[in-house]
Amino acid sequence: MHLKKNTIAFDLSQPIYSLSDLILPAHTLNELKRAISLREHQSAVFEEWGFKHTHKYDNKMIINLYGEPGTGKTMAAHAIAKHLNRPLVLVNYGDIESKYVGETPKNIQAAFEFAKENNAILFFDEADAILSRRVTNMTSATDTSVNQTRSVMLTLLNDYNDTVLFATNFISNYDPAFMRRILMHIEFDLPDETTRLRLFEKYIPKQLPHSIDLVDAAANSATLSGSDIANGILLSAFAAKNEDAHEVTHQNLMEKIENIRKGKEANAGKKFDISSGEILKTETREVSENFVKQQLNKEKLS
């Protein structure tokens, strides 16, 4: 996607992942297959079984993929498109947001029109930015613009009888009006131990010399996503090369996994206890606005 003379031009993307590339918990994969079947059996249900007369405005597939970062939501969107043999129009809110009032809704409408003209599946990543709750107490032109954007999106979803995919890490931010218009919500959990073992097996190249205990790695990598595991394996290979070693050791991998876990814990304000397998609560202290101002004033004086 790129900007061109104040008009956003959208690009068609060929899906790069298939269902066979996805390593997910069984319930998530089953839900994905159910979503695909909605489109595969659409003609039979609406035409042969007569639902075009009773559900004339429901000839659409609006699916929301939600869950933790790095759990495969974007890969799943590609897999859905590939299985249906259709291209994707990838839309990030940052690409269509405009500083000019009224332009963002026009950009969203242009995305829908482009997808329809090219028989493509429309995919909004980080969708909470556009499906979030509307402003109730409007105090600025920005608030008015936000509500206008949400209203246009609601209208487009009502009228668009095709496939739209959303992905988010923050489904709690969605406006209830959008929730009602989404046909299916598919949750992407962090991988369980069995799934983590399959992820380690997938992301360790066959030609990689290593002494990694895959079962132990899977057992001691709770709270990690598939993306975290892929990154941990790659980083452990670079660590081994940096040590001028001839193989990647189990210690190389577990050190990287621990580093990734600590980073995630610091970001979330939580700590994971490996021995008990539980997430421990960390003590937090509320800081008042006046306290912050006092500290800033001290820095200015110094």
- Helix H or strand E encompassing 92: strand 88-92
| pLDDT the model gives residue 99 | 55
First to last CA, the chain: 47
pTM score: 0.81
Instruction: For residue 62, give both structure tokens.
Output: 């609006």
Q: Give the number of other Cβ atoms within 10 Å of residue 137's Cβ.
A: 5
Domains of the chain in sequence order: 2-188 (3.40.50.300), 193-281 (1.10.8.60)
- What is the distance, to the nearest Å, from the Cα of residue 116 to the centroid of all Cα atoms in its chain? 23
Least confident of 63-67, 147-151, 235-239, 259-263: 147-151
Distance from the Cα of residue 291 to its chain's centroid: 37
Q: Residues 178-223: pLDDT tens digits? A: 999 999 999 999 999 999 999 999 999 999 999 999 999 999 999 9
Residues 6+ apart with CB under 8 A from 264: 223, 224, 228
Q: Which of 29-43, 178-192, 233-247, 259-273 bottoms out in mean pLDDT, i.e. has the lowest?
A: 259-273
Spatial separation of the C-alpha atoms in residues 250 and 205, rounded to whole Å: 15
Average pLDDT over the chain reads 85
CB-based burial label for 285 (10 Å; 0-12, 13-18, 19+): exposed
| Contact status, residue 175 vs residue 192, Cβ threshold 8 Å | no
* pLDDT of 290: 52
**Per-residue model confidence (pLDDT) at position 287:** 46
- Helix locations, the chain, DSSP H: 26-40, 42-43, 51-54, 73-83, 93-96, 103-117, 128-131, 141-159, 176-181, 193-203, 214-219, 226-242, 250-268, 289-301
Mean pLDDT, residues 157-167 taken together: 93
Examine the pLDDT at 102 and tell me if it is beyond 80.
Answer: no
Region 228-255: mean pLDDT is 97
- Closest residue by Cα to residue 168 from 58, 76, 262, 31: 76
